[in-house]
Amino acid sequence: MLFEDLIPEFLLYLEKERRYSPHTITAYANDLGQFKEFLEEQFPQGLQEFKLIDNIVIRAFLGGLKRGGYSITSIQRKITSLRSMFRYLYFKGALEINYAKYVHIPKKPQKVPSFLELSQLNEALRLPDQGSPKGKRDIAILELFYATGIRLIELTNLKTCDIDFSNHEIRVLGKGSKERIVPFGERAREKMLQYKSIRPGLLVGTDDPKVFFLNLKGKPLTPRGVQYIVDKYLEQVTDGKSFPHTLRHTFATHLLDMGADLLTVKELLGHKSLSTTQIYTHTTVERLKKIYQKAHPRARQVKK
């Protein structure tokens, strides 16, 4: 069977058996189509007899992508697409050896997350006009982001019934539908209660959608709407660090700076793996080094 005939069969398997989204299937189709074009130019015998495609051929394909300027993220995805298809062919019995699984996946360099200094954060929290309904809502959003470190989608999906003001905690449905309880402080409680008191006024003529944060027409705030709100304030106190996720990074960094252990921060953020949380230690270590260089008498370079 020709390699190009196997691609539609595999994509149909992803759609019917694995229930992949149309977007994901399109991405797989593009990746595999690009690999087919590579075979046509560099290894045409692989098109006629796909069993001849080994790890050397796959590495040659990936090497061409790297020389072509493709990002690590793009190359990782294409390896994933090839691995998935070759695994399918192996379990189907069409391949005796799954060479794709032996191909190394390059690691994406970890970026140190951007965060706000405490002075920047305090400045941003002073910006909303808290005399207006809009300002009461906006300050409640900012305070809750910083108090809990929740994700953007977790905030927009937060229902009124998920907030326990008496115990200072919220119930969050995170990635993989994993539920967690996250505490918040008195400052966030105060601002959220102030917003809650004016929230019914936003519902005039509309049914309550149950989510806590609404736009000024009484409809649920969308992720894009929340991002616009957060960006509007953060861009006034930063030089580009104007994303809701910046407040999540700030939450984690400030906790670690003040002595919180990594496992606690992992649970609060809802990370599946501790390695995901460890990226924040790079930030705190660099900050400690700067403080040490500035404060220790023998750390500074001696002037001659």
Active-site hit among 83, 136, 151, 189: 151
Residue 171: strand pairing partners: 181
Active-site hit among 171, 180, 219, 245: 245
90 is catalytic: no
126 is catalytic: no
Residue 245 near residue 111, CB atoms below 8 Å: no
175 is catalytic: yes
Question: How far is Cα 25 from Cα 272, in angstroms, rounded to an integer?
Answer: 26
Question: How far is Cα 257 from Cα 265, in angstroms, rounded to an integer?
Answer: 11
- The CA-based dihedral angle spanning residues 23, 29, 30, 36, taken in that order and rounded to the nearest 10 degrees: 170
282 is catalytic: no
Pairing of strands 169-173, 163-164: antiparallel
Active-site hit among 137, 248, 249, 254: 248
| 70-76 long-range contacts, CB within 8 A, separation 24+ | 72/106, 72/107, 72/108, 72/109, 73/108, 75/106, 76/105, 76/106, 76/108
Active-site hit among 51, 101, 175, 187: 175
Q: What share of the chain is helix, strand, coil (3-state, %, to 5)?
A: 60, 5, 35
Q: Is the dihedral of CA 119, 122, 128, 130 positive or negative?
A: negative
Residue 285 near residue 262, CB atoms below 8 Å: no
Residue 182: strand pairing partners: 170
Residue 299 near residue 293, CB atoms below 8 Å: yes
Q: What angle do CA 101, 104, 110 make, to 5 degrees?
A: 130
Six-digit token pair at 206?
């509309």
Active site residues: 151, 175, 245, 248, 271, 280
